[in-house]
A and B are shown apart, each in its own frame.
Chain A
Amino acid sequence: MLENFKILRSHGKQFIPDITQPNLPATFKGRPIISTEEIDNQELMAICPTEAIADDNGITIDIGKCTFCGECAFRFPHKVKFSNDYKTATNDRRSLIIKEGEEQIIRIDQTIIRKEIKSLFGRSLRLREVSAGGDNSSELELNATVNPNFDLARFGIDWVPSPRHADGLVLTGPISKNMAEALQICWDAIPYPKFLILAGTDAISGGIFTGSPAIDRSFLDDKVVDLYVPGNPVHPLTFVNGILELTRKIKS
């Protein structure tokens, strides 16, 4: 018994007391910042493996498409930098498109959150995760949200096995054709009111699987997405902060 306590004590305090505050190392690739430096835009755009970089009256990077490989930042270090800002979850798809010359913090637009989300899910929330072609990295990171470090359960938020017990669905993966029907059945089994979260680049845009004949994203055609959580994979801090901001009356 004493030995067990000794083992526990050797691990010290593991939880992050204020989940909105930790700093990630400078190397972490979070929200990109694009300068106005003049470069060959075509050359920069050609680097990107997922066509996340575009020229729309200046360079833009869509972090809903970006796989965060960071190659653009290595080839054009004065043009593109990845900051370690992990608070990149948003309910507005357009705000994932980062524009050059703008130091653009990504937030959750409180004015477009559906009313029932804050009133019903503000204190207790149960989520069902579905991986539809996910590569098990975002899945592992979503598992990590409830580990002793990030400890999402302390906020009354937890993962449940049955869609019948869930308030929302968290989707990972580009949606493989073979999973399309099972995903729809799972969604239908969640009682109203319910919400939908896309976790990771693959889920948000298809990522590197865009154009694959083995993918079927029609599930998303008639759905309102309540939260986009970028990342490859999603960082637990991005997810936890996003879900708290979406459902809680906290200041961002």
Chain B
Amino acid sequence: MEKLLETKNNLPVRIADIPVVPYSKFFEVITFLLRSQDYHILSYIAYPTEEGLKFICAIADDPNKSISVVSHIIPKGAPLKVYSMMPKYDVFHSFERDIHEKYGVMFEDNHFLKPLRYSHDRVNQESVITDYPFYKIEGNELHEVGVGPIHAGIIEPGHFRFLCAGERVLHLEIQLGWQHRGIEYLFLQKQKLNQRATLAEQVAGDTAVGHALAYSQAIESLAGLKIRERLNYERVIALELERIGMHLFDLSNLCTGAAYQLGNATLGVLRTPTINFFQTWCGNRFAKGLIRPGGSFYPFTMDLKEKMLAYLDNMEERYMAIADKFLNLSGIVLRFQDIGTLTRKQMYMIGAVGVTAKMAGLKRDSRWSHPFAGYHDLHHEPVTFDTGDIYARIQVRHYEILQSIKYLRRIAEIMNYDSPTPQPLTDENLRLAKNCLTFSITEGWRGEIVHTAITDDEGKICCYKIKDPSMHNWWALALSLRDREISDFPINNKSYDLSYCGHDL
């Protein structure tokens, strides 16, 4: 077995140290490691270099908290053709589509090599988003249902195409790309620190903390900056508050899906003080502007601590009253149990992360496997359920809310308020390591976020890749509907609450 380069979350490596192997070896080592469910694909990217198109694949070893990296180069002039890893593991399918769309690489035996997001810089400019090649089955008894890109509610655009036999869904194909704004391209064009931070916050505006933190830690690791405990704890507070706010929103929405008005109203109302606390802290209900590389403009003061503890006490009591009620309500339990059920094996094959993995018993939580910021001290143990249905997704969210409340209280107690919060880095004194690569992983409320940054020989970022948890998790929604009633689509969709813009970038 080829020796791979070992690294960790936020530990930069020199590009020259990453072994370059022929594609057959590349294929072999990756697929060998993935035989165990302890491993998962963190990042698989391609980018143009002087020698040719370079592929870099990072495989995370979760229990050992390490990352293995291996690379392959298709030299300039050589045919852009390799065999696909998708027949072995479905998880590769989205990555390969991304690389195919951008660089025209043919992946043999990937039978689903369609445009992923119709990015502006796609090789095939003749393909247009309104002419997507949907999977088709012909038959007199079958019909198709198309929904979107514009949906009924105030949500982002995406297209769902159901192939149905009566009420039964044979296949759901999710076509995305409508939200593509060219974020990865803009990351290279707009080079000021705060421009990139603003971009990171808008990868998915509902996960502003998660993505801004992934970006900040990528910059800090390339700049060789050690972050002190105070700022690390503040970041944990921000990330856990974001999780509580969005989990409450999802639970409220799921109550609407089951026509349970009391749950919808009360859980929705509980979200308000959660995001209003962000507003008190940093002036923005979505915490935009709060997370910056190297420091923060908004220290978490003793005064904020008192306010947060008071909010937590009040919120927890009211939350528990409604949670006890709705988690045991027969109307809720009957509507959500055994609906949209998926197995651990399926989640492992599609590379599911976060809530979507944990609800089927797959332990994927980077707070535990690749700890960052202040999580080293929390010894986080992920909440998992084996049932894999909508009710399991509800339970994961419920227990994560309780976990987050516990962490917030603990961090607020142990934080040393006398040590100052540093100011954010400025462009003038920024020096990034040259010819290096870093993986920055954070655990947003949806799951694992990975930012991959590569610098050139001047220390400028020459490749920036973003992976939102939604990239894989959308496939869970598609699988949930297979062989189920089409009327179960709305609650299944709400039970995942995935990001369109995070996928489309």
Contacts and interface: CB of A to CB of B under 8 A. Distances in A.
Q: Are A and B bound to each other?
A: yes
A45 to B, nearest CB: 12
B118 interface: yes
B232 interface: no
Interface in B165-189: 177-182, 185-186, 189
Interface stretch (B75-83, B262-270, B393-401, B402-410): B262-270
Interface in A12-43: 14, 24-25, 27-29
A242 interface: no
A11 B206 contact: no
B190 A3 contact: no
Contact of A178 (B177, B297, B318): B177
Contacts of A71: 194, 289, 297
Interface centre among A70, A138, A215 (most CB of B within 10 A): A70
Given A69-B288, A135-B204, A139-B155, A49 B185 contact: no
Contact of B289 (A69, A144, A161, A215): A69
Contacts of B185: 212-214
A139 B154 contact: yes
Given A70-B297, A215-B182, A136 B205 contact: yes
Contact of A68 (B249, B284, B321): B284
Interface stretch (B104-112, B145-153, B378-386): B145-153
Interface in A114-152: 129-144, 147-149
Given A147-B268, A208-B198, A28 B283 contact: yes
A70 B289 contact: yes
B181 A149 contact: no
Interface in B186-220: 186, 189-190, 192, 194-195, 197-199, 202-206, 208
Contacts of A143: 153-154
B36 to A, nearest CB: 35
Interface in B296-352: 297-298, 317-318, 321-322, 325
Contacts of A29: 283-284, 289
Contact of A25 (B181, B198, B279, B504): B279
Interface stretch (A91-99, A104-112, A179-187, A220-228): A179-187
B504 to A, nearest CB: 8
A147 B269 contact: yes
A209 B272 contact: no
Contact of B182 (A68, A179, A209): A209
A55 to B, nearest CB: 18
B149 A233 contact: no
B269 A179 contact: no
A161 B147 CA distance: 12
B473 interface: no
B501 A133 contact: yes
Given A8-B266, A136-B501, A233 B189 contact: no
A233 B281 contact: no
Contacts of B155: 131, 136, 139
A176 B286 contact: no
Given A8-B262, A213-B121, A214-B120, A182 B181 contact: no
Contacts of B24: none
Contact of A186 (B150, B152, B280): B150
Contact of B206 (A7, A137, A213): A137
A69 B186 CA distance: 18
Given A82-B283, A214-B185, A7 B321 contact: yes
A209 to B, nearest CB: 5
Contacts of B178: 176, 178-179, 182
Nearest to B119: A214
Contacts of B17: none
A147 B249 CA distance: 11
A181 B198 contact: no
Contacts of A8: 262, 266
A71 B501 CA distance: 25
A87 interface: no
A142 B181 CA distance: 21
A178 B322 contact: no
A132 B154 CA distance: 11
A174 interface: yes
A25 B280 contact: yes
A242 to B, nearest CB: 17
A88 to B, nearest CB: 14
B156 interface: yes
Given A28-B283, A69-B197, 20 more contacts: A3-B325, A7-B325, A27-B282, A47-B194, A50-B198, A70-B283, A82-B283, A131-B157, A131-B179, A134-B501, A135-B202, A142-B154, A143-B154, A144-B272, A161-B152, A176-B180, A178-B178, A212-B181, A213-B185, A232-B288
13 contacts: A3-B325, A14-B269, A27-B298, A28-B283, A28-B284, A67-B198, A130-B150, A130-B157, A136-B499, A140-B286, A143-B153, A207-B202, A232-B288
Interface of B: 118-121, 129-130, 149-157, 177-182, 185-186, 189-190, 192, 194-195, 197-199, 202-206, 208, 249, 262, 265-266, 268-269, 272, 279-286, 288-289, 297-298, 317-318, 321-322, 325, 499-501, 504
